[in-house]
């Protein structure tokens, strides 16, 4: 930032962040990502194991990509 926000600006900014649907959604997503990153630091294999796709899903994705790139 170029300068410190005034009290009025801080209040306006806080109100906007708490009421704006997109900002609220963004904050939830950022909080979720932060939790995942923190968990990954503490227990790296937990996230990696749970994020593995089944062979069937991998094949579905490959087929979808082939179908859409060779059209």
At 59, is the secondary structure helix, strand, or coil? helix
- Which two tokens mark 7? 């009290």
Helix axes 7-19, 21-42, angle to 10 degrees: 80
pTM: 0.49
Residues 9-45 pLDDT 10s: 999 999 999 999 999 999 999 999 999 888 878 877 7
Write down the pLDDT at residue 42. 82
Closest-CA residue to 16 (of 51, 42, 8, 37): 8
Token pair listed for 49? 């194991």
Q: Nearest-CA neighbor of 24 among 36, 14, 11?
A: 14
């Amino acid at each position: 930032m170029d300068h410190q926000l005034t009290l009025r600006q801080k209040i306006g900014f806080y109100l906007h962040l708490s009421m704006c649907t997109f900002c609220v959604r963004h904050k939830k997503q950022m909080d979720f990502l932060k939790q995942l990153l923190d968990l990954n630091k503490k227990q790296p294999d937990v996230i990696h194991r749970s994020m593995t796709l089944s062979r069937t899903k991998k094949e579905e994705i490959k087929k979808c990509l082939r179908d859409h790139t060779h059209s």
